[in-house]
Amino acid sequence: MSKKLLFCLGSLLCSAPQAEELTDADIESPSPFSSEVEFGYQAHSGNSDSESLNARLSGEYIKNRYRLTGEWKYYLLYKDGAEDKRQSTYDLQGDYKLGPKSYAYSNFNGYDSKYSAYFTDYTVSVGLGYQLTNTKHLLIEGELGPGYRYQEPNLDEIDDDDIITKETVQEAIVRGNFSLVWKPIKSLSVGTDLTVVAGESNTRTDTEISVINEITEDIALKLVHNRQYHNKVPDGLSHTDSVFSVNLLFLF
């Protein structure tokens, strides 16, 4: 019996360093980078024919106190064989944690469109953010800060006798953002994002409401409603542009 006991003890002592070495080698930290690819397509036929395509690319990098996010959105609509709407949106942001719930941010947002109220709408902003709560079920964040805006109005469809302001906007602004992500169950999340940019010339409000239902770990179905509102626009153009889309979301 003693020989068997000594043999077992010897085996354990010999394997202990190997087990420790394997444990260190096998431990992998989660990747600080994540990305998403999103596509949506709709086609309608009958009294009127239309096709629409929307795409989205986004990435996020989180390391220690830093968080970097980037997003690009594209929307294209053809109606009765002619291009009716085309727009792109860019958003880049860097955050730096100041405390358990507070952070400093810098943000760039760009909007290019051929048929809406403004050809281009670019803003740069810096300020402070605060996380009211950040759990696996609920995230609520708010941001506020000063910035600068460059805005070029869409004058292509305006008659010469219309009384409008044809000047390009270059002004100081105040930007506010509120975002909420609620995940009641593992496979379902509901999100709301509201951004207000206010300046002397006009105020722009962007609203996005989304519902994401995970089909697999890497693929999800996403319903999105985007709404953009300007309180002042050239005569004959709508104050509001909105898009509703049904998309497939790929997670990486």
Q: Spell out the domain ranges in the chain.
A: 29-251
Measured distance CA(135)–CA(28) in Å, rounded: 23
Predicted pLDDT of residue 232: 80
Per-residue model confidence as pLDDT tens digits over 62-77: 999 999 999 999 988 8
Which tops the pLDDT comparison, 143 or 159? Answer: 143
Cβ–Cβ < 8 Å for 22, 16:
no
* This prediction's pTM: 0.76
What pLDDT does residue 22 have? 44
Q: How confident is the model at residue 29, as a pLDDT?
A: 60
For 9, other C-beta atoms within 10 Å of its C-beta total: 10
pLDDT score for 157: 57
Q: Give me the mean pLDDT over the 40-50 stretch.
A: 69
Lowest average pLDDT, out of 37-46, 118-127, 221-230, goes to 37-46
pLDDT tens, residue by residue, 149-188? 998 887 765 554 444 456 788 999 999 999 999 999 989 9
CATH number given to 29-251: 2.40.160.40
pLDDT in tens, 97-121: 999 999 999 999 998 887 777 788 8
d(CA 130, CA 141): 6
Which residues are CB-neighbours of 15 under 8 A, at least 6 positions away? none
Residue range 197-245, pLDDT digits in tens: 999 988 989 999 999 999 988 899 999 898 989 888 777 777 888 888 8
Rounded Cα distance, 76 and 61, in Å: 29
